[in-house]
Amino acid sequence: MSKRVIVTAIIAFVLLIPAAHAESQFFKDFMRDYNTLNQDLLNHTGQVAEIKDFTYTKDVATFTFHEGIIHLLRYVDDRPTTAIFIGRGEARVEIPSHIERMSLWSTAGDSTVMTEFETCFIRFADDFDLALSEQFTFSPDELSWENYNIGAKKPKGEFFFQPRIAHTYDNYFELLRSHYDRGPDGFFWIDFGRYTFGFDPNMAEEVTVGYEKQGIDLSAYEVVHMQRQERGIYEDSLMSQIDYPTTPLMRTGTIEMSGLEGKNVAKADVTMKLAMNRAHSNFVSLFLDSNLTLDSLTVEGYKVDFKRRRDFRFIGAYIPNEYATLDTIDFTFHYHGNNFEFIMPFVENPAATFHDLTFYTPKGFNYFMPGMSEAEPQGKHWVFTCRPQQAYDRFKFECYASGVDTVTIMNEAGPKLNFLEWELMDKKYSNCVIPHGDYQGAISAAVAYMTKSLGPRLWTQEMTVSPWRYCNMPGLLGAPQIACVTEGEGEAFGGFNQVAGKAAGGQWFGEFMQRASDRERWITESAADYMNIMYLEDTLANVAYSNLLHRVDSLKMKQEQGDEAPLAIGNRVHRIERTNKGMWIFHMLRMLMKDLETGSDQRFRRFMNELSVYSGLKPISNHEFLKLAEKHCQQPLDWFARQWIYGFGYPHYTARYQPVERDGQWFVEGSLEIKGKGIKADFMPVVVVRVALENGESKYFRERMGNGSKISLGPFDSKPDEMVFNEFYSILATGKSKKTN
């Protein structure tokens, strides 16, 4: 009988006694093995061999070790888990996905990996060692200081691999879970020069490529995420179809709040029901905010072992019973801590769930959240339930330790607004508080605008308005009354109106939206911001364009710093770029839908309304977003998506033009030059062009043009005085129009 079968049998017996759970023998063995993965390699005894012309292929990567020595180290169950190669080698990684090639290109300056190396550092739990042993003879040897310094320290692999705050997952846990099912499909990670390559069979997207931008980097940027080769999911339109290991179905439980401000989690017992999407897995990846301490974890009433490092959200859980695909498991998290903002456990899959929660709160404290019942006294607590009508991923709420008054305002157009008035607001922030009348007026106007533009919000026609944080949930509108943006530079971009507009837009978008994967994060983070631009345009005219153009400066700065990347790679894009470029995408789509004769935005408003309803009912992907946009643009948008969502770069244009008279009528003839990093030769955007005539009239055209394109507009009865290329800032670009003789 194998060691693993014996250990599993012991665990199964122990777990028959739920009240008497102690650290299991398996967990003791696990921790011993886990610590082995962190053993100091200096003067460490392992196996060494001289190798030549050895080729190893892992998914899309091929590593050729031309000649050198290789050390095999850190043995677990008589199998090595670490290798150091010193010699001469070559790495080639093919990137079949267009979007991931663009991601790699934007960071590393190339769209594929093909490089030589003299050293490499490998962590593995597959058959890499067996493939070596078939061809070469190994003998015991100690890793010397010289080889340790060259092979483990120089490429930084030892440092980059260690579980640290910068990592989403615990790499030691991931390697070890793969080791217990060791086979050719197992874990493999290698650092070679400035690149890293990883394959983890337990990840949602199993293949990763990292890149070290500078020698002083503390981590390698993960620039490529892809699913394994045999799944064949590489098309831009398919990349959001991710085979997540688990799917959250429901969150239920009880939460006791405490602390001087009522914001500490004294005790929480929250159950997350998960569907298991992959069979025969004893290990499950879970997450909980790092400020919350996980006291214990139970599955169907029985305590189970887990590994969680300090300051990590990641929790690696071991469940002794194996489950079939689509089986459901109830994981109950027992925890406490000082973070009430992200109070729910979660998994990597962002699927929305319904919530059914009971809160125990201190007497006299005020809590506000969607779907809450009236609070009732119970002993030393006030108790209420929370059962929102809508499913969503991240649950948030608002809390006040002192008295709060409520002022209800009925809008002519839009939902009822319950404004919270915190009694200490004026005293605590006397230099920065917006008067109630101005505050309530701005919020009411913004909500009314969104209602008229987007239609009634789903599920509820009542909102609670919080004056403290940007805590925007369906039914809970967060717009700080202490936002000091009414003077100076803030006033130039809309003052408090921009705070009110963004918060109001968030009731139709933002947390309201469901997304298919992390790759749609830009949509949920920028839709409300662009509705805010439209609100500012409606109320403050030119301020909206000042606000929009201000975003270009931040994008250009990111480009200069080499930090730009395709939006659809998700959280790997900096939030500033996700939000600001996302806003520009909505603006460009609006210009494609705009009626140039009447100036009407009716088609775009219908698009945004349908986007809100669609994403409120089911997860939206980038592909579905584009199909919806094509429906309202009434044209294919492949060219648009390839550059702005699946590509990167901002074009710089020079448009040259001249008036020409022919047969008593006037025309404008011109040419266009477009260039810029990330701008391909076949980039042909649709641009709005305005021709101003000497008689005071303006004529608008929507033209598809690229680098080297010629243009001829007319005829006109009056002589053209000016041609404005990129009117209404119809594409995200910089440049100018030049009149020639």
What token pair was written down for 519?
């790759």
Show the tokens assigned to 554. 């931040």
CA distance 342 to 87: 48
Of 209, 234, 259, the domain-final residue = 234
Cα–Cα distances in Å, from 53 out to 68, 192, 607?
Answer: 9, 17, 58
Can you give the pLDDT at residue 444?
Answer: 94
Residue 670: count of CB within 10 angstroms of its CB: 22
Average pLDDT (113-135) is 96
C-alpha of 544 from chain center? 27
Q: In what order do the strands lie in the sheet with 720-725?
A: 698-704, 686-693, 720-725
Q: Identify whether residues 17 and 53 lie together within a single domain.
A: no
Please report whether residue 421 resides in a domain: no
Amino acid (1-letter code) at residue 135: Q
Same-domain status, 485 and 620: yes
Residues 81, 153, single domain; the answer is: yes
| pLDDT score of 9 | 35
426 domain residue, yes or no: no
Within a domain: 427: no
Q: What pLDDT is recorded for position 430?
A: 66
Confidence at 13, pLDDT banded by 50, 70, 90:
very low
Asked if 41 and 149 sit in the same domain, the reply is: yes
Query: Is the confidence at residue 550, as pLDDT, over 90?
Result: no
Q: What is the pLDDT of residues 615-668, one digit of tens each?
A: 999 999 999 999 999 999 999 999 999 999 999 988 999 999 999 999 889 999
Residue 18 in this model has a pLDDT that exceeds 50: no
What are the tokens at 723? 């041609």
What Å distances lie between residue 476 and 375, 468, 556, 617, CA to CA? 17, 12, 35, 19
- The pLDDT assigned to 14 comes to 33
292-295, Cβ contacts within 8 angstroms, sequence gap of 24 or more: 292/265, 292/268, 292/335, 292/336, 292/337, 292/339, 292/343, 293/335, 293/336, 293/337, 294/333, 294/334, 294/335, 295/334, 295/335, 295/336
> Do 208 and 253 lie in a common domain?
no
Place of tokens 């962190």: 38
pLDDT in tens, 177-219: 999 989 999 999 999 989 999 999 999 999 999 998 876 666 7
Tens of pLDDT, residue by residue over 251-293, are: 999 999 999 989 999 999 999 999 999 876 789 999 999 999 9
Number of structural domains, the chain? 5
Q: Are residues 358 and 476 located together in one domain of the fold? A: no
Looking at the predicted structure, is the pLDDT value of residue 545 above 90? no
pLDDT at 486: 67
The answer to whether position 229 is within a domain reads yes
541: pLDDT strictly greater than 90: no
CATH no. for residue 707?
2.60.40.1840
Domain boundary among 644, 670, 696: 644
Instruction: Provide the token pair at 106.
Output: 């934007």
Q: For the whole model, what pTM was predicted?
A: 0.93
Determine the structural domain holding residue 452 and report its residue range.
437-644
13-26 as b/e: b if 16+ CB within 10 A: ebbeeeeeeeebeb
**Is the Cβ–Cβ distance between 641 and 633 less than 8 Å?**
no
Per-residue DSSP letter, 48: E
Residue with tokens 């607001």: 425
CATH value at residue 258? 2.60.40.1730
Cβ(448)–Cβ(440) below 8 Å: no
Joined tokens for residue 216: 């002083």
Distance CA 512, CA 501 (A): 16
224 and 269 belong to one structural domain: no
Compute the chain's Rg from CA coordinates.
29
The three-state secondary structure class of 370 is coil
Do 657 and 680 fall into the same domain? yes
Average pLDDT rounded to a whole number, residues 6-33: 56
Query: Quick check: 361 and 257 in contact, CB under 8 A?
Result: yes
In whole angstroms, how far apart are CA 268 and each of 257, 296, 732? 9, 11, 47
| Domain final position from 185, 203, 234 | 234
**Least confident span in 35-49, 138-152, 255-269, 504-518:** 138-152
125 assigned to some structural domain: yes
The tokens of 244 are what? Answer: 């997540």
Which of 372, 367, 376 shows the shortest CA–CA distance to 401? Answer: 367
Residue 152 is given by DSSP the state: I
Among 676, 624, 619, smallest CA distance to 645 is for 624
Question: How far is 671 from 654, CA to CA, in rounded Å?
Answer: 8
Say if residue 469 is in the same domain as residue 579. Answer: yes
Residue 574 belongs to a domain = yes
User: How far separated are the first and last CA of the chain, in Å rounded?
Assistant: 90
Q: 222 in a domain, yes or no?
A: yes
- Tell me: do 459 and 387 sit in the same domain: no
Task: For residue 15, give both structure tokens.
Answer: 């777990």
**What whole-number distance in Å separates Cα of residue 272 and Cα of residue 355?**
10
Give CA angle at 688 (687, 691), nearest 5°: 130
d(C-alpha 161, C-alpha 190), whole Å? 9
- Domain containing residue 592: CATH number: 1.10.390.10
Give the pLDDT of residue 215: 65
Q: What is the mean pLDDT of the chain?
A: 90
Instruction: Summarize pLDDT for 333-354 with one digit per residue, the tens.
Output: 999 999 888 999 999 999 999 9
563 vs 575: CA distance, rounded Å? 11
Beta strands in 387-507 (DSSP E): 398-400, 404-410, 416-422, 462-466, 476-478
Does 621 share its domain with 688?
no
Residues 592 and 626 placed together within one structural domain of the fold? yes
